[in-house]
Structure 1
């Protein structure tokens, strides 16, 4: 991610299992319902060719249910996003 670039152009590389994505391949992604609805300017997600709720639940509700069932949550940074140095 290069934060110096304009919104919509900041992602400089996307990898799946360490390999560059194939532009003609279909990928399944999971995002918060807020983002799926185009929140924070993610209109591309709202306009996706195929969009469905696999579980039929809002992700936020599933998260709340999980935290209630497992009150001890251990959080770690997994390094999925790398920022480009200036």
Structure 2
């Protein structure tokens, strides 16, 4: 699940960058537009990182709950 999320997010960002470069190559020649593009990409990377950390935290919490439930079931079956 985590790999799929990361792959989709990375692919979306890369495709967006490719579309910008393909359809607006003049942005690469203009320093102010290049700076804006750089800012946007840094922002996207930051957002992806935050989402990835949030997803990882949720997965860890789910794993802890699953382990507790498994332990509780095994304790119940031993009685």
TM-score bin, normalised by smaller chain: under 0.3
Larger Rg: 2
Higher strand share: 1
> Which structure shows the higher helix fraction?
2
TM-score, length of structure 1 as denominator length: 0.26
- Greater relative contact order, per chain length (Cα 8 Å cut-off, separation 6+): 2
